[in-house]
Amino acid sequence: MKCHYCDREAVVRLPYAKLNLCREHFAEYLLRKLERSVERYKMFGKGSKVVVGVSGGKDSVTLTKLLSESGLAKLLVVHVNLSIGEYSRISVETVRRFSVEHGLDYLIVDLSEYGISIPELVAKTRRSPCSVCGMVKRYVLNALTLDLGYDALATAHHADDMAVYIVKSFLLQDYDQLYKISPVNYEVPGLAARKIKPLYEFYEFEIETFAKLYGLPFVSVKCPFKHVGWLERYVRELLDRAEEESPGFKISLLRSHARRTLSMRSAEQAKPKACASCGLISSGTECSFCRFTRRALGQPMGLVVRRWIIGEAAAGGTRRVTGTPPSSVG
Ligand code: SF4
Ligand code: ZN
Ligand code: ZN
């Protein structure tokens, strides 16, 4: 099997694009695909400052590598230490190693001394570990992007997962969730950072193949809290079968969905509110993070997190941190 563009052996086949590619042309193809996605969805302008949320898994290291190769933005790698035993220890070390090897500025956020550790928070609630973990990560990354003055927050959600979330939210008739799923969620000044998903149209197999071909360090152990429910399993199987029957099916679904959600964004953000405790975006009087930590830890922790971020950025320390923190918050 020869590469579509040269005489070298192909190492990957992309059925949706009807292409067989060698290692070099595959990397070039993915880089162009990333640049086109950034442009298509108007994610950020050239020279912007972008925070990349990096868990240390194959998706987030591939996203960071491609963004860094593209030279489109100045990056800050941010990892939230979830304090989930050995899994977190490996993740922190992987992100550190990856960042150092690639000469990237990085920041490891560790708030365990304030009780913000996933096992500790999970023990105090009936919520599922992944929902607590998702809320904590969303809060910290949003606060950090805003408080350090970055233009956007990039996360590594890919096409296979996004298609599952869309169909699952529809089946559950969870329209609030459904309309939040988008390649770009635009900023609300002072309250919410711009959130972007540059891998929105990337298949998981492309990401995994790239990470392996280029020897990127990534965490392959599973989080002990990982649990996939029956509905998600069912929807994933269904979509995988549809993709096999009709290559490119998931990308068509995602593009149609994006057209709809992006045209609705102004109505959705018509009246954003500020959390009474921390000042960031909230659907009620207090944001879900402050409400949750008030119940679990006895006090809302939003402002504590925001002060930590600013202090840490100002201190610099051994980490290479960029950004000019504002002098005070709240
Ligand atoms: Fe967090 Fe769940 Fe992922 Fe574990 S599996 S890191 S708890 S979101
Ligand atoms: Zn080639
Ligand atoms: Zn709050």
Is the pLDDT at 317 greater than 60, yes or no?
A: no
In order of 92, 194, 250, the CA distances from 56 in angstroms are: 7, 22, 25
Q: Report how far residue 151's alpha carbon sits from residue 106's, in angstroms, rounded to the nearest whole number.
A: 16
Is the pLDDT at 91 greater than 50, yes or no?
A: yes
Q: Report how far residue 79's alpha carbon sits from residue 82's, in angstroms, rounded to the nearest whole number.
A: 9
Is the pLDDT at 8 greater than 90, yes or no?
A: yes
Instruction: Check residue 328 and give its pLDDT.
Output: 41
Q: Report how far residue 152's alpha carbon sits from residue 166's, in angstroms, rounded to the nearest whole number.
A: 23
In order of 55, 58, 207, the CA distances from 217 in angstroms are: 12, 8, 13
Q: To 10 degrees, what angle do helices 58-70 and 85-101 make?
A: 20
Lowest-pLDDT range of 84-88, 211-215, 263-267, 323-327: 323-327
Q: Do 29 and 43 meet the contact criterion of CB atoms below 8 Å apart? A: no
State which residues have CB under 5 angstroms from ligand 2, the bound ion: 3, 5-6, 8, 22, 25
Q: Report how far residue 105's alpha carbon sits from residue 298's, in angstroms, rounded to the nearest whole number.
A: 34
Q: Do 148 and 313 meet the contact criterion of CB atoms below 8 Å apart? A: yes
Task: Say which residue the tokens 């099916």 belong to.
Answer: 249
**CA count, 13 A, side-chain hemisphere, 13:** 5
Which of 54, 80, 118 best tests ligand 1's pocket when mutated (most atoms within 8 Å of CB)?
118
Residues constituting the chain: 330
Instruction: Output the residue whose Cα is nearest ligand 1's atom 7.
Output: 130
If you measure from the C-alpha of residue 27 to the centroid of ligand 2, how many angstroms do you get, rounded to a whole number? 10
Q: Where residue 272 falls among pLDDT bands split at 50, 70, 90?
A: confident
Instruction: Check residue 174 and give its pLDDT.
Output: 95
For residue 274, the cross-strand partners are 281
Q: Is this model's pTM higher than 0.95 or not?
A: no
**How many helices and strands in the chain, by DSSP H and E?**
13, 10
Question: Mean pLDDT over all residues of the chain?
Answer: 93
CA-closest candidate to residue 151, choices 37, 257, 72, 268: 72
85's tokens: 């035993």
What one-character DSSP code corresponds to residue 223? P
- Got the DSSP string for 113-133? GGT--HHHHHHT-SS-HHHHH
Instruction: Quick: pLDDT tens for 21-35.
Output: 999 999 999 999 999
Three-state DSSP class for 216? coil
The phi-psi region of residue 248 (left if phi > 0; otherwise alpha if psi is between -120 and 50; otherwise beta) is left
Please give the radius of gyration of the chain, using alpha carbons only, rounded to the nearest integer: 20
Q: Which atom of ligand 1 is nearest to the CA of 223?
A: 4
Instruction: Quick: pLDDT tens for 300-316.
Output: 999 999 999 999 877 76
Instruction: Quick: pLDDT tens for 186-195.
Output: 999 999 999 9
Ligand 1 neighbour 224 (Cβ under 6 A):
no
Is the pLDDT at 126 greater than 90, yes or no?
A: no
Q: Do 166 and 241 meet the contact criterion of CB atoms below 8 Å apart? A: no
For residue 188, the cross-strand partners are 192
197's tokens: 């998903």
Instruction: Check residue 319 and give its pLDDT.
Output: 52
Lowest-pLDDT range of 80-89, 155-164, 230-239, 319-328: 319-328
